[in-house]
Amino acid sequence: MRLFMLVLSTLFAAADADLSGKWTISGDIVGNAVTLNCIFQQNAEAKLTGKCTVNDMEPTDIAGDVKDAEFKFSFTTAGYTLTYTGTLQSDAVKGSIAVAGVTGTFSGTRVKQ
């Protein structure tokens, strides 16, 4: 019985976090504010897709992956590719942004519906 419980707890602990839903994410890249309003979908293989509106511009498609509580997604807007790498804890995310050879940070929250 103990072995069964250990295996079961390992399976649940190894499950990928789910970023599906609406998110508001705020970041800073070398003094430049970046605000995202995103809708993410995550499939059974932990692939992340969706759309983000960046600084109130037109929505852009994103693509990424989720592994455990870590994620990475990227998109191109205004000729720049931004890559977000971070961690999910409950209904909050935080991490780093890379674009054009510079980096910044971000944090965000899931929008309650």
Per-residue pLDDT of 45-102, as tens digits, reads 999 999 999 999 999 999 999 999 999 999 999 899 999 999 999 999 999 999 999 9
Give the pLDDT of residue 89: 94
pLDDT over threshold 70, residue 26: yes
Of the pLDDT bands very low, low, confident and very high (cuts 50, 70, 90), residue 15 is low
Of the pLDDT bands very low, low, confident and very high (cuts 50, 70, 90), residue 113 is confident
Give the pLDDT of residue 16: 82
**Per-residue CA distances from 34 to 7, 14, 38, 40, 98 (Å):** 42, 32, 13, 18, 12
pLDDT over threshold 80, residue 5: no
Residue 32: how many other CB atoms lie within 10 Å: 11
Of the pLDDT bands very low, low, confident and very high (cuts 50, 70, 90), residue 10 is very low
Question: Domains (ranges, CATH) in the chain?
Answer: 16-110 (2.40.128.120)
Residue 75: how many other CB atoms lie within 10 Å: 21
pTM above 0.75, yes or no: yes
What is the number of alpha carbons within 13 Å of residue 70 lying toward its C-beta? 3
